[in-house]
Copies of this chain bind each other. A is one copy, B any other.
C-alpha cells in the first residue's frame, strides 16, 4: 500500500541534497521536513561532492540555473551516481530556453537518473533532445486529459523504458511509470497552479520517498505524487473566507506534516495501467 512508503520516510528520515532554484527553496526545505525527511542545500561545485556523499538522495532542479550551479549539478550528479544514490531531475523550463534544454539533455546523457519529474512539455523536450532517449515518439498532446490519456500513457512508458528511470509527468492527471506499469493519478486541485513551487516541492518529496523505499521505487514515486495532490485537497478544504494562494501554500505543507498512512491510503485516487 502507498501508505507504507510514507511511513518509511518518517521512520528513516532520508537526507536529501537539493540543488534547486532560489524561488521555492524554502518551501522545498519545509516540505521535506513536513514529510519526515531532512534537507540540505548546496550548489557550489567545490562543496557538492562532500555534501551529496553524506545524503541518501540528490534532487536536481534547474529552475534558476547558472554556470556555477550547472557545474555543481554535474559534479554532484556524478558523485551521487558513483555512490548509487537516488537521483532525481526536475527539468524546469526545458524547452523555454536553449540553456535549459541543453543542460537538461546533457544531464540526462551523463548521469543515470533514478527519477525524472516534470510537466508534459518539459518531458517531451527531454524525449526529443536526449541521445539516451532518442527514438521515443513524443508526438503527444501538450496536456494529459481523458481524451489524450492513451497516447500519454504510451509515451511515458516508452520514455521511462528508454531512460531506464521512473518518470513522473504531472498536470491535471499525473502519470508515473517505470516503463512497465503506469500509475494514472487524479489527486490534486487546479488552484495548486496558483502557488509557486508545488512542482519543485513534489520533486523533493519524490526524492525522499524513493530514498526511503529503495526496493519499491515506482510505488514510492506514485505515493509522493498522491501525497502532494491529496495535501492540495486537504489544504483546500481548510481554506476560509478571504484566504488566498499564500495561505493555501501553508495549508498544503501543513497537510503533509499531518499526513499519515491511513489518510494517504484512503485518499489516493489512482489506477494502474
Contact = CB atoms under 8 A, between A and B. Distances in A.
Interface of A: 21-27, 29-30, 33-34, 39-44, 46-47, 50-51, 54, 63-68, 93, 96-100, 194-197, 234, 238, 242-247, 249-258
Given A242-B238, A246-B253, A255-B242, A33 B99 contact: no
Contact of A96 (B33, B43, B50): B50
A63 B39 CA distance: 12
A33 B196 contact: yes
Contacts of A196: 26, 29-30, 33, 39
A246 B242 contact: no
Contacts of A27: 26, 246
Report copies per complex. Answer: 3
B242 A258 contact: yes
Which 6 A-B pairs give the minimum distances between C-beta atoms? A244-B257, A244-B254, A50-B97, A246-B253, A29-B196, A44-B66
A21, A196, A243, A250, most chain B CB atoms within 10 A: A196
A66 B43 contact: yes
A101 to B, nearest CB: 9
Nearest to A29: B196
Contact of A244 (B24, B29, B255): B255
A179 B15 CA distance: 35
B238 A256 contact: no
Given A30-B249, A247-B250, 8 more contacts: A23-B29, A29-B196, A34-B246, A46-B99, A66-B68, A246-B251, A246-B257, A250-B250
Contact of A33 (B43, B63, B195, B250): B195
